[in-house]
Amino acid sequence: MSHLERIERFLERLGKFYAWILMALVVSIILQVGLNLMSSSITWMEELQWYLYGISGMVSMSYTMTGNGHVRVDIFHRNFSVRKKQILETLWILIALIPLFIVILIYGWEFAVDAFLRKEGSPDPGGMSYRWVVKAFIPISSFLLIVTACLRAALIWSKPELLEDSSIIHGN
């Protein structure tokens, strides 16, 4: 197994692990709804829902790319030759995706470090005290997406079958 394939497996496992973490989101929403029906609420649980939901969006980007579920205009893409798909995918990664997420990584890092240094927490009584942890996922997820994009740019040249239509989209 090559280094690229090991990295890909790690990213896939990370995404699958986080999918299980989302069960905590579902459970906390169900509990919060039950508490609301009894005219009660737990502030930290409500904030946990926001945090888990936000983190899920950030973490899922790299996992989606490893599964070939990222956004593209498939009506054009499916008619292209493999070579043209490889070139377009590589250009998209190098010209758009990586530069954008490098910027997000840089500013996200500053944002997270600032929140950590200020020991940023919830302003609400009973809220979660470590808001900086959630903000740390901005640079973490940006880094993961950059790694995934570089991995994909390398792998599509050695494994052109990765460019086939996504099973996520087509339900296969």
Residue 167 has pLDDT above 60, yes or no: no
Look up residue 124 and give its DSSP letter.
S
Burial of residue 83, with CB atoms counted within 10 A of its CB: 0-12 exposed, 13-18 middle, 19 or more buried: exposed
Question: Which tops the pLDDT comparison, 106 or 43?
Answer: 106
Enter the pTM of the model.
0.79
Residue 104 has pLDDT above 90, yes or no: yes
Cα–Cα distance, 59 to 72 (Å, whole number): 19
Taking alpha carbons only, the member of 168, 171, 132, 172 closest to residue 60 is 168
Mean pLDDT score of the chain: 84
The answer to whether residues 47 and 128 touch, using CB atoms and an 8 Å cutoff, is yes
The answer to whether residues 145 and 14 touch, using CB atoms and an 8 Å cutoff, is no
* Per-residue confidence (pLDDT) for residue 164, from 0 to 100: 72
Q: Sketch the domain layout of the chain as residue ranges.
A: 3-165
Cα angle value 117/48/110 (rounded, 5°): 25
Percent of the chain with pLDDT over 90: 31
60-81 pLDDT, tens digit per residue, is 888 787 777 666 666 677 788 8
* Per-residue confidence (pLDDT) for residue 168, from 0 to 100: 42
Average pLDDT in the 45-55 region? 86
* Per-residue confidence (pLDDT) for residue 101, from 0 to 100: 95
The answer to whether residues 154 and 4 touch, using CB atoms and an 8 Å cutoff, is yes
Alpha carbon of 158 to those of 40, 51, 85, 152, 167: distances in Å?
56, 38, 13, 10, 20
